Amino acid sequence: MIDSRKFRDVLSAYPTGVCVVAAQGSDGRKHAMVVGSFSSISLDPPLVGFCPAKTSSSWQGIAEVGRFCVSVLGHEQLEYCKRFAASSPDKFAGLSHRSSPGGQPILDGVLAWIDCVTEVVHEVGDHLLVVGRVEQLEKERDTLPLLFFGGKYHKIEDVRG
């Protein structure tokens, strides 16, 4: 049996990007969560995925909508990360954002956004694998991403040369 603390320690050697997954229900209520497990899955058809905990109340709200928009955070957007990682009845209060073509929240000033319809959800251990079919996407800024590495958030040095 693998010790969960050792598992986290070893996997913290692998850096991940940080994004916010958000959805807005027909009642106008917005749901959002920070995700470090986001990944491209397929080019044809265009599919992406992420892995929320089964117990996530934020995911439950997003799941009910059946679609979501991913906002990819830049290195200077740690405050967005903190806001959307915390439990709050209205994580968008006072925050500049707009709607995606599919009607889902996009945070202003992000690196990119990806508008999706939920394709399939699979149970995997204590998490879910959510696969989204990409309907629209856009790169908005050419800057460095916010990264999670070694249990902390980081800005990487510019490796673009």
Does 2 map to a domain?
no
By the 8 A CB rule, do 70 and 113 touch? yes
Residue 144 is assigned to a structural domain of this protein: no
User: Domain with 120 in it: what CATH number?
Assistant: 2.30.110.10
Does 23 map to a domain? yes
Quick one: what percent of the chain has pLDDT higher than 90? 78
Residue range 17-35: mean pLDDT, rounded: 95
State the average pLDDT over residues 31-59.
Answer: 96
Greater model confidence, 103 or 11 = 103
State pTM to two decimals: 0.92
DSSP annotation of 74 reads B
- Is residue 87 assigned to a domain? yes
User: What mean pLDDT do residues 9-15 have?
Assistant: 88
> What pLDDT digit, counting tens, does each position of 51-103 carry?
999 999 999 999 999 999 999 999 999 999 999 998 888 899 999 999 999 99
Q: Is residue 68 part of a domain?
A: yes
Would residue 54 count as lying in a domain?
yes
> To 10 degrees, the CA torsion angle through 107, 67, 62, 119?
-130
Report the alpha-carbon distance of residue 69 to residue 92 in Å, rounded. 14
- pLDDT band at 152, cuts 50/70/90? confident
Residue 93, domain extent: 17-139
Domain-located, residue 90: yes
Instruction: State how many domains the chain has.
Output: 1
Q: What local confidence, expressed as pLDDT, does residue 149 receive? A: 87
Within a domain: 61: yes
Is pLDDT above 50 for 160?
A: no
